Structure 1
Amino acid sequence: MLAAVAAGGALGALARYGVSLSWPTPDEAFPSALLTVNILGSALLGVLAVTVTDRAAHPLLRPFLGTGLLGGFTTFSVHAVDIERLIAGGRAAIGLGYAAANLVGALLAVWAAAVLTRRASNRPHPAGGTEGRGAS
């Protein structure tokens, strides 16, 4: 399991690094590339939670994809450094807005992706709700 998480984490970190190279963020700019990565990674985690949880998947698939790949792709440490950099640079409102956008965006993305994935696959919500059954 450790090897699966490490391999996934390495691939995820490389993917995030690739995004940072193709979408560089100057020091004084809003870190939109990392915000996008964190929200996209959260959405993918929502899809993964629905698709892998309800299936008899290989036992290493979830650690590889979830903890490894998506954990390496998304990042809290760089997010925290970006917030500190913005605040220290006299842009506290932007730094705090960035922190809120990351939190709210990631939570909404994981929720929406899970709901849409359940609906697309006609899977009921685990709490017994009607999500995924076509009910409105």
Structure 2
Amino acid sequence: MDELVIGIFAFAGGILRYGLDQLIPFGDYFPVPTLFINIIGSFLLALITTAWSLNERISARLTLGIGTGLIGAFTTFSSFSLEIFDLLANHQYLLGFGYAALSLISGIIGAWLGILLGEKLHPREDKSEW
């Protein structure tokens, strides 16, 4: 049953990714759409897993469907990797390495902000885990 839930949410995540990718007009020289999508995904995954894992009223299956299915299909490591390769293959070393560094740093910051907001929405009883 988990596979079906993940699949349904993954379909929606893929459609959302494609739609947002089409709305962001800056992808010709620098992969802004993928960068933006992956930052949003990092934030949302951290937010949802933090806030919902601390809330017993949210089902684990729904969290799995949204986290693994929706956000997993919305974000993409493969496009990120291919875009870096394309930049480097076209001798755009500064852009390629800059894109990789910016993606990594901004993804971590997005996840950190998602965790902070998730904990504000549903505070932990025991802070010793951090």
Partners of 2:65 and 2:95 lie apart in 1 by 34
Which residue is 1:52 aligned to?
52
Unaligned 5+ segments in structure 1 are 130-136
| Contact 2:51-2:121 at 8 Å conserved across structures | no
Q: Report the CA distance between 1:44 and its aligned residue.
A: 0.5
Partners of 1:114 and 1:2 lie apart in 2 by 26
The one-character-per-residue Cα deviations of 1:71-130 (angstroms, maximum 9, x if unpaired) are: 00010000011001111111011011101111111111111221122124333565355x
Q: 1:22 to 1:65 in 2, by over 3 A?
A: same
* 2:36 aligned with 1:36: yes
Q: Which one has the bigger helix percentage?
A: 2
Give the secondary-structure state (helix, strand or coil) at the position aligned to 1:49.
helix
Give the secondary-structure state (helix, strand or coil) at the position aligned to 2:128.
coil
Q: Report the CA distance between 1:10 and its aligned residue.
A: 1.1
Q: TM-score, normalised by structure 2?
A: 0.89
| Contact 2:84-2:100 at 8 Å conserved across structures | yes
Aligned pairs for 1:60-71 within 5 A: 60-71=61-72
Q: 1:121 to 1:71 in 2, by over 3 A?
A: same
Partners of 1:7 and 1:126 lie apart in 2 by 35
Which residue is 1:132 aligned to?
none
Q: TM-score, normalised by structure 1?
A: 0.85
Aligned-residue Cα RMSD (Å) equals: 1.6
Which residue is 1:80 aligned to?
81
Which residue is 2:111 aligned to?
110
Unaligned 5+ segments in structure 2 are none
Letter matched to residue 33 of structure 2:
A
